[in-house]
């Protein structure tokens, strides 16, 4: 990975559509679902570092600590902001926040791990070929 400064940041804007709503996750309210918000946080963090990865590298989600603070209705826009707060060898730590037109709706930390893409795919293929362990 090429050098990147702590404090580097990126933003992502997303219009909440029906496919993003909690109604698809067993809830009866048409609001932005927490799993979708976590996915958007990952996308925003990936944007911070996308131009700093070496050829053959990729990042994978490693951890989340997050609080979903307020509901965002379908049809509203949510804006996410990710800022790199720490680099610990191959682990990249991000502060991520999101807001809609009224509230801060999300706050948390997302951690990504830098991995070798070919090695990751080899391990995945090997796991898939071996199949699940009988229980």
- pTM score: 0.92
Tell the burial category of 85 from Cβ atoms under 10 Å away from its Cβ (0-12, 13-18, 19+). Answer: middle
In a domain, 26, yes or no: yes
* CATH code for position 54: 3.10.129.10
Q: Is position 62 within any domain? A: yes
For residues 44 and 10, give the distance between their C-alpha atoms in angstroms, rounded to a whole number: 6
Please tell me whether 2 is known to bind a ligand: no
55 to 1, 4, 113, 116: CA distances (angstroms): 9, 16, 15, 9
For the segment 63-110, what is each residue's pLDDT rounded down to a tens digit? Answer: 999 999 999 999 999 999 999 999 999 999 999 999 999 999 999 999
Structural domain range at position 88 = 8-130
Has residue 1 been placed in a domain?
no
Distance CA 52, CA 30 (A): 37
Q: How many domains does the chain have?
A: 1
131 a known binding residue? no
Cite the active site residues: 34, 42, 68
């Amino acid at each position: 990975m090429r050098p990147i400064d702590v404090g580097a940041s990126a933003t992502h804007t997303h219009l909440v559509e029906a496919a993003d709503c909690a109604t698809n996750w067993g809830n009866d309210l048409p609001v932005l679902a927490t799993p979708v918000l976590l996915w958007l946080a990952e996308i925003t963090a990936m944007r911070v570092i996308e131009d700093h990865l070496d050829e053959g590298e990729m990042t994978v989600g490693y951890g989340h600590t997050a609080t979903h603070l307020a509901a965002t209705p379908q049809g509203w826009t949510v804006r996410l902001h990710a800022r790199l707060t720490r680099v610990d060898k191959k682990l990249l730590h991000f502060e991520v926040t999101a807001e809609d037109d009224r509230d801060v709706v999300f706050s948390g930390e997302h951690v990504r791990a830098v991995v070798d893409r070919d090695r990751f795919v080899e391990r995945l293929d090997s796991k898939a070929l071996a199949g699940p362990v009988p229980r």
